[in-house]
């Protein structure tokens, strides 16, 4: 996360809207190798793609006292992709 290896755990719940778009909210925590924590809450919107894939875009709101990841309290824009086989990829950009 932001150049520092972390392990993360979170939960994200989504609902399909009447127009077919997807709205979701979630929260979680990432920890560095030495146990520093970065908590997040987020929300986003998504859409179904051909073959069962899903594409989300949204914002994450971070809180940390980590010395390795100097975010403090900030937010980041994210992209999250789920392919038809269920494999995921995500990217986050710090909002400055």
Give residue-wise pLDDT tens across range 16-70. Answer: 999 999 999 999 998 888 888 889 999 999 999 999 999 999 999 988 877 777 6
Q: Hey, where are the domains in the chain?
A: 18-95
* pLDDT of residue 71 exceeding 70: no
Alpha-carbon distances of 22 from 35, 48, 86, rounded to whole Å: 34, 8, 17
Q: Point out which residues pair with 28 in neighbouring strands.
A: 10, 40
Q: Are 23 and 15 in contact (CB under 8 A)?
A: yes
**Hey, what are 55's tokens?**
């594409």
pLDDT for the residue numbered 69: 73
Confidence at residue 35, expressed as pLDDT on a 0 to 100 scale: 86
Sheet-wide strand order for 37-48: 6-16, 22-32, 37-48, 54-64, 73-82, 88-95
State residue 45's pLDDT score. Answer: 97
């Amino acid at each position: 996360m932001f150049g520092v290896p972390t392990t993360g755990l979170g939960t994200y719940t989504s609902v399909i809207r009447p127009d077919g778009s997807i709205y979701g909210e979630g929260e979680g925590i990432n920890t560095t190798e030495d146990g520093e924590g970065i908590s997040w809450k987020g929300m986003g919107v998504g859409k179904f793609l051909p073959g069962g894939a899903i594409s989300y875009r949204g914002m994450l709101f971070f809180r940390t006292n980590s010395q390795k990841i100097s975010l403090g309290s900030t937010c980041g824009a994210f992209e999250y992709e789920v392919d038809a086989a269920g494999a995921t990829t995500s990217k986050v950009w710090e909002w400055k």
